[in-house]
Amino acid sequence: MIEGFWIVQFAGIEGKGGGVVVLLKGQVLGGDNAYTYIGTYKGTSTDFRASVLVQNFDPSIGEVMGIQGDYTLDLALRANGDVMEGQGTISSTPGFAMRVKLTRRARLV
């Protein structure tokens, strides 16, 4: 089961950052100090795919991805127990890729 409360760590062209997400029944819900993350996912015990709308709510805080405004992030991660790692891409920005790591902190009952 992939459902749970996860720490998100990512590295983009402008630096590193992190946030949190809850994965529940195919939904991604989370955020950080300037962005919300809302989307959907499909996953198995070894493969995770998600499409996440990343929306800014505090434009005074810089974006570590080097992208202004809202965007949809597509994730392709390999799962191994309580850790998932892989790549995030943005279809509207060809050539863009960032490293992404999720670490589960709690399972959902």
CATH numbers and ranges of domains, the chain: 4-107 (2.40.128.380)
Which pTM was predicted?
Answer: 0.92
pLDDT at 68: 77
- The pLDDT tens digits for 87-109 are 999 988 888 889 999 999 999 98
pLDDT band at 86 (very low <50, low <70, confident <90, very high): very high
DSSP state of 25: T
Tokens of 74: 């597509």
Assigned token pair, 103: 């670490």
H helix or E strand, kind and range, residue 48: strand 47-56
